[in-house]
């Protein structure tokens, strides 16, 4: 008796499920199912393509854009070990680092270019530790970095250190407003002015600061 009722119940349940499926198959649902199936096929192809496939899913090939420009950035900050008094600020007699980054996203190579820093040389002394350049042109008024080669698709970083002069009358502003020029003296681009303020030092404190600077060396 139980077995007979069970099969009767199972048959009714099967018929009910068939009716639900038939009612659900509307033109809209068929279209949605088709789109979902297409989506699954596309995802399968993407995963089969490995990392490149996933990358293209995030940024499709047709939407990739590269900002093909030449850019120039600069920065001024305390050099490593340059904070002689250890107070965390730039004072007269401290050593600072100038940093310049030339990013070439173009297809053109720039050879024998010059970076004009437009630094006021009379605020600094003891220019040293230059990296990323073959030499420094120092005429006592400003500093230039000649004979630069900037290859396509590469970034070039240039740094050098300098000691702030001993200003005793007032605080001083040290700035750079770099400009990249070609071998025939034509301007390629200019960058925004960057500056820092150096605190003055009392005359009676100069000998002590000089001694501290020598000990650091």
**pLDDT class of 54 with cuts at 50, 70, 90:** very low
**pLDDT class of 167 with cuts at 50, 70, 90:** confident
pLDDT digits (tens, 9 = 90+) for 134-156: 999 999 999 999 999 989 999 99
pTM: 0.65
What are the chain's domains? 2-62 (no CATH), 70-216 (2.60.40.10)
pLDDT reading at 35 higher than 60: no
**pLDDT class of 22 with cuts at 50, 70, 90:** very low
**pLDDT class of 200 with cuts at 50, 70, 90:** confident
User: In this structure, what token pair is assigned to residue 193?
Assistant: 């002015």
By C-alpha distance, which of 86, 85, 91, 101 is closest to 159? 101
Greater pLDDT, 159 or 48: 159
| CA quadruple 18, 23, 27, 29: dihedral sign | negative
Average pLDDT of the segment spanning 86-111 = 93
């Amino acid at each position: 008796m139980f077995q007979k009722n069970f099969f009767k119940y199972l048959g009714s349940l099967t018929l009910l499920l068939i009716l639900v499926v038939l009612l659900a198959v509307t033109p809209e649902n068929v279209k949605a199912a088709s789109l979902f199936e297409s989506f699954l096929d596309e995802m399968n192809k993407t995963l089969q393509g490995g990392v490149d496939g996933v990358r293209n899913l995030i940024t499709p090939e047709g939407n990739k854009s590269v900002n093909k420009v030449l850019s120039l950035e600069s920065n001024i900050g305390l050099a490593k070990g340059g904070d002689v008094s250890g107070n965390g600020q730039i004072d007269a007699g401290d050593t600072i680092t100038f940093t310049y980054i030339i990013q070439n996203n173009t297809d053109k190579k720039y050879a024998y270019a010059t970076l004009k820093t437009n630094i006021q040389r009379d605020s600094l002394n003891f220019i040293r530790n230059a990296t990323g350049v073959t030499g420094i042109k120092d005429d006592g008024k400003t500093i230039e970095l000649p004979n630069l080669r900037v290859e396509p698709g590469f970034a070039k970083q240039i740094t050098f250190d300098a000691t702030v002069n001993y200003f005793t009358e007032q605080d001083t502003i040290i700035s750079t407003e770099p400009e990249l020029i070609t071998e025939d003296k034509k301007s390629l681009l200019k960058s925004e002015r960057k500056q820092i303020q150096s605190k003055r030092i009392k005359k009676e404190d100069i000998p002590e600061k000089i001694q501290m600077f020598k000990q650091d060396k």
